[in-house]
Every structure is written in structure tokens, then in C-alpha cells.
Structure 1
Amino acid sequence: MIRTPGADVERIQTPRARVDDEPEARLRPQALDEFVGQDALKAQLEMAIRAASGRGEPLDHVLLAGPPGLGKTSLARIIARELDVRITETAGPALEDKKDIASFLTSLEPGQIFFVDEIHRLPRAVEETFYPAMEDGQLPVTLGVGPGAKVVTLDLPAFTLIGATTRAGLLTAPLRDRFGIQHRLDLYNADELAAIVVRSAGVLKVPVHMDGARAIAERSRGTPRVANRLLKRVRDYAQVEGDGSVDAATAYAALDMLEVDHEGLDRLDREILHAICVRFSGGPVGLSTLAVAVHEEQDTIEDVYEPYLLQRGFIQRTPRGRVATPHAFAHLGIEPPASGQSLF
């Protein structure tokens, strides 16, 4: 039982439960039927959950891949709720050696969910510790050092590992093949994002018109996390500059102030396109050179910005580097250079 200093009541909730009670935390869907979009994925997960529950067995290990902000963590928590089991969460970079994994795995309860975000960033030695745990429910532990060391195998309760990754190509084949359920989340369309904005506005108690929700959705880069972030900033604008409600005119004015254009591109997106189109005459340009040009980390460009620019047809990847398309030049209002001509 936890007593917060100065509190008048005793709290028996866990820290995570208290966080989940906050309105903005409740923007995450709480059940599969609340999760908007990804219909094929939801249908397959629902079938697998019902089948595992019917057999009284843990769900098979699940791998969720896709760009950031599409709902991988939300789905992991939803799976735990649907199965009525606890979930333990960590991230690949936090698991630095085998002792870290051992402390997590030995504390799991039967059927519990173990969620590892950014699982592609597991060190190789740590990753290999997962193999027997996932397949055989066993954890080899080395006791002692040198010639006198011996290996003791601990039996683990049956559990479900859910891994989330933004870069599935970096997963090794032995780890990837041990996930019985594998899904990739796709970017959302405008209708799905508008539905998410309407739901989130209800949670935040923000009056929103359907045209206002649609305006936010159109500039949300196909990503629910971006849609919710923009909704909160549009809410601020509507509160200060309007009557508190969000219609299309208010949304467009707020988004223009935020420098989010009609294609959903923000300032850094346009800087990336400008660097390729102007400094490097449309490309090709390598990722490391591009990162230096826009003062951003390579991983951030590759994981956060490039997927949307590629999906919208602004850039292409080639063996020699990134190349701007005619769509990028048109969006920036720049004439493409003649062959061999430099704009820099």
C-alpha cells in the first residue's frame, strides 16, 4: 500500500495505473474494438487471442513492426487486457546483459506478457538468451567463473514475448523466426485518422466539428501519434484565439502557425527536401551527408522522416543515395535542374 506524502487518502494503485487514469494517457485505445484501423491485423489477433484463451494456453510470441506512432505499444497493452494478464514493459537498449533479462524472465507469472520495445536494438549476446526462453521455457544461467563454472538451467513459466520494432530488417533471422505471430502496421488513411481525432477530442473534452477533425487528419502524416499531438496544439489555439471549438478554419489556422503544410510536412521535412533539391541538385545524396546538412541524427531521418516522404512520393532511395522526385520540386515551388546543372 502506497501513501503519497501529504495525501489524504491511501492509494493501492500501481504507478502505471495512476498514469493511465490521466486523460491524455487514455488517448490510447483500451480494447481491440476501440482500436481504429489495421482491420486485418485486428481480425488475426482477435482470432489468435480467442483460440489461445479457449485452450487455456499463453498466446504465441508476437512481433509488431512498423513506423513510430502507429500503435504497437497500445496493441501490446490491449493484448494483455484481452487475455486478462499482467504486462511487463522494457526496451531493447535497456537490456544490456544477460542478468537484465534473467531478472525480468524469472519474475514473470504464468501467461504474462513481456513487451520489449525497439527489440531490434538488443545486443547479440542478450538476444541469444531469448532463444531457449521463447522455445523451451528455459533460462541457462552460468554460475561461477573459470574452469569451475557450471551452467544451471532454470525452468520459466509459459509467457508471451511481444516485440515491437521500427526496423524489422535489423532483426536477425533466428530471433524473427521464433515469433509465431508477425504483423506489420501500415500508415492510416484520412478517414481512420479523423475517427481517431474525434475519439481523442471526446477524451480531452474538446468540441470538434467533423471538418475540423478531417483537417487535422489530413496533416497527420498517416500517424495517430501525430494526429493526437496536433489535436492538442489546435485545442490550445482554439482556446486562446477562438471559442474553444475546433472547426476546419480554426484547425487550418493553427496548423499553419505550427508550420505544418497541406501535405503534413513540417519544417524539418521541408529542410530535408530543400537540401536534396537545392544543395545537392536533386540527389543522389548519402544519408550521412544529408544528416549533416540538416543538423539531424541519421537514425531520426531514417526512422521518423523518411518513411512518410517515401510513402508520399517526395523522395526515392537508390543504391547511390536519396533522390528527390518531381513531386518534391513542385511542392517546394522549385524548377528541377537541367541534367548536370547544380543549384547550389
Structure 2
Amino acid sequence: MEHSEVDPEILPEERDFESALRPRSLSEFGGQPRVRDQLGLVLDAARHRGSSPDHVLLSGPPGLGKTTLAMIIAVELGVALRISSGPAITHAGDLAAILSGLSEGDVLFIDEIHRLARPAEELLYLAMEDFRVDVVVGKGPGATAIPIELPPFTLVGATTRAGLLPGPLRDRFGFTAQLDFYEDADLARIVHTSAAKLGVTIHARAADEIASRSRGTPRIANRLLRRVRDFAQVKKHPVVDLDVACAALEMYEVDQLGLDRLDRGVLDALCRLFGGGPVGLSTLALSVGEETETVSEVAEPFLIREGLMMRTPRGRVATHAGWSHLGLRPPAGVAPALFGDAE
């Protein structure tokens, strides 16, 4: 069963669009030049040796292309790709069944590998290092371990929380790639490429505008492009120019920095309801009617990265930039140091 990177907002039809817009080779993969070059060397060396490349760990926030890179690795090697995810592998037997079904040279992609169950994780150590699994038959004193030899394969693991990976598992990857947020210029090129695939005629300034509001993330850039495409189609604009792009993004409540309704709601509550903080996460989440996990994992990282908000030992605090973005001024009597740049 195929599992994409975790993003609860992705609908099945969105996944279909994502699949259609994915690059199919390293040469088509936009952005991440350092990772692309390093991975290209790993794959070229393996091809010259006529063997499977080392296991690959892809780390970084959602939407930066980890699943796409796993697919590209299989295509570049000309082998089959098997896809699963950490939460789907709940028992060692689940993983043993997947591993025993691999053919020589196959690529096994495990998304959210940091969420593997401990028994499966321990089974994976032996499989990665010695291409063998020990299947336990029976229970109690009469239980016996039957070794099953595996064909050489390449494991590609993806994680958004590299710090949660146990050291023994992390050390078994021969190549680790940390994916970073994309530059606007790279995102604009991705928007142009995706627009061509969607049959959308788009001006350079419109592509730049979409890119600048995409939070450094190709998945968001492609999603915004599709919404702009919908707007242009319904409003009967044959070409997406800057005015069309801005009107569409305004309709979908994505502002100039890329903040959406949730982000602005959190920042607005922090400033207007709590005087800029400090305020606890659960109280802040309650004020916007969201779960604490949604606020901490979806809205907070971007607000902090943009310097609009910061975490302190006493709670969340708005920065000067956060107040300014809302067109507000910090209340009188509040220490200016509280509203300095986020660290």
C-alpha cells in the first residue's frame, strides 16, 4: 500500500495531482542542488559497481520532495519500488513479509520511519546490515528462529523528525540527506514547470508571486498554483498574470508572506486577545478552536521561522514583526525586549 508524507489536508484528488506533477528524474528535480549532486554521485557509483547503493535517509519538513526522491532513486536504478510507512508496520511480521517479497536491487521506501514499532525496528537492523531476517516460529521455550536470506536491496527512509530516530538505525544509513526549504527562484521554476503540465499559461511575475507565498515548499507552491488555475478558469482569464494570481490568493486567504487563515488566526489571537503573550500553547489553541498539535505542528513552525512569534519558557510571544504584520503596535508598558527578533 502506498503512503505519502503526512499531511492531513491532502485529499485523494490532491494526491493524484501531486503524482502527475512529480519530476521523474534527478535532472528534472528542481531545487536542493547539494542533495541532488550528492545523491547523483551515490547512484552513479552504485551503477558502476553493478550493485545496490547504500541505504538512504531523507530528512526534512513535509512537502520538500522526500517521497519524490525515493521514486526517482528507483527510476534512476531501473528497479521496482515498494512503498510503506512507519505507522503501517505495527509488528515485526509485517516488516518481514515486506522484506521477504523484495527482489534483488529493489528499493524499499519507508515514510515516517521514526514511527516504526520497536520490534520491527530491531528486525530492520539485521536486514539492513546482513540482508537477513530471523523469523521466530513458536512460543516459549520451544520457539526457534529461522534465518531467511534477503536479496540485496536499498532502503530509503524518510523522516520529518530525525531527532526521534534511534542511533543504531540512523547509523545504518550510508547516505543522509537533509532537505532544506526552497529559495523563491527555485519555486518559481517549479511553478512554471507545473503550469506547463497543467496546460496553464502563466506570466513570470505571477509565478514569482505564487512562489513567494509558498513557504519555501514545492507541495504548497503546486497547491496554490492549482487554486489560481481554478480561479482563472472560472473567471474566464485565459492567462494567469500578476493581478489574477493576487486576486486568487486573496480569495483563498493566503497573504503576502504565505500566512493562511490558521496562521493569521493564531497570530491575531496572540496579539489581540493576549497582548502579545506570553501565553501557553493549549490556551492559544483553545482560543482559535484548534487542537494543540495542529497549532504546534502546522502554524507555529512557519510563524517562528518568519520571525513573527517565538517560544519562551513562559509561553508563546509575538515579535515586533508579528505585530507589524497585523498592522498593530505592541501595547504600552510591555518590555521591548519581549518583542525582539525570534531566535
Tell me if both proteins adopt one fold, taking TM over 0.5 as the criterion: yes
User: In the alignment, what sits opposite 1:103?
Assistant: 97
Q: Distance in 2 between matches of 1:80 and 1:56?
A: 15
Q: Is the 8 A contact 1:141 1:152 kept in 2?
A: yes
Of the three residues 52, 65, 68, the one matched with 2:62 is 68
Shift of 1:307: 2.6
Shift of 1:316: 1.8
2:23 is equivalent to residue 29 of structure 1: yes
User: In the alignment, what sits opposite 2:151?
Assistant: 157
Q: Distance in 1 between matches of 2:306 and 2:273?
A: 21
SS in 2 for 1:316: strand
2:186 is equivalent to residue 214 of structure 1: no
Of the three residues 321, 329, 340, the one matched with 2:323 is 329
Aligned AA (1:275): A
Aligned AA (1:73): T
Of the three residues 195, 204, 212, the one matched with 2:198 is 204
Q: Are residues 299 and 92 of structure 1, via their aligned partners in 2, closer, same or farther at CA, if it must alter by over 3 Å?
A: farther
SS in 2 for 1:34: coil
User: In the alignment, what sits opposite 2:310?
Assistant: 316
Q: Percent identity?
A: 54
User: In the alignment, what sits opposite 2:271?
Assistant: 277
User: In the alignment, what sits opposite 2:51?
Assistant: 57
Q: Distance in 2 between matches of 1:119 and 1:294?
A: 32
Shift of 1:296: 2.7
User: In the alignment, what sits opposite 1:45?
Assistant: 39
Aligned residues: 324
User: In the alignment, what sits opposite 1:143?
Assistant: 137
SS in 2 for 1:49: helix
SS in 1 for 2:194: helix
Aligned AA (1:314): L
SS in 1 for 2:255: coil
Gaps (5+ residues) in structure 2? 4-12, 336-343
Gaps (5+ residues) in structure 1? 1-14
SS in 2 for 1:246: coil
Q: Are residues 172 and 287 of structure 1, via their aligned partners in 2, closer, same or farther at CA, if it must alter by over 3 Å?
A: farther
Aligned AA (1:86): A
Q: Distance in 1 between matches of 2:287 and 2:155?
A: 40
Q: TM-score, normalised by structure 1?
A: 0.89
Q: Distance in 2 between matches of 1:294 and 1:75?
A: 36
> What is the Cα-based RMSD across aligned positions, in Å?
2.1
2:131 is equivalent to residue 128 of structure 1: no
SS in 2 for 1:201: helix
Q: Distance in 1 between matches of 2:113 and 2:290?
A: 23
- More moved, 76-85 vs 280-289: 280-289
User: In the alignment, what sits opposite 2:238?
Assistant: 244
Q: Distance in 2 between matches of 1:339 and 1:162?
A: 53
Q: Are residues 148 and 273 of structure 1, via their aligned partners in 2, closer, same or farther at CA, if it must alter by over 3 Å?
A: same
Shift of 1:278: 2.8
Q: Distance in 2 between matches of 1:133 and 1:67?
A: 27
Of the three residues 173, 178, 183, the one matched with 2:177 is 183
Q: Are residues 300 and 64 of structure 1, via their aligned partners in 2, closer, same or farther at CA, if it must alter by over 3 Å?
A: farther
User: In the alignment, what sits opposite 1:229?
Assistant: 223
User: In the alignment, what sits opposite 1:8?
Assistant: none
Q: Are residues 119 and 292 of structure 1, via their aligned partners in 2, closer, same or farther at CA, if it must alter by over 3 Å?
A: farther
Shift of 1:138: 1.3
Q: TM-score, normalised by structure 2?
A: 0.89
- More moved, 298-307 vs 183-192: 298-307
2:277 is equivalent to residue 299 of structure 1: no
Q: Distance in 1 between matches of 2:54 and 2:213?
A: 37
Q: CA offsets per residue over residues 5-48 of structure 1, 9 Å max, x none? A: xxxxxxxxxx99xx9xx765220111111111100000000001
Q: Distance in 2 between matches of 1:24 and 1:170?
A: 28
Q: Distance in 1 between matches of 2:319 and 2:87?
A: 36
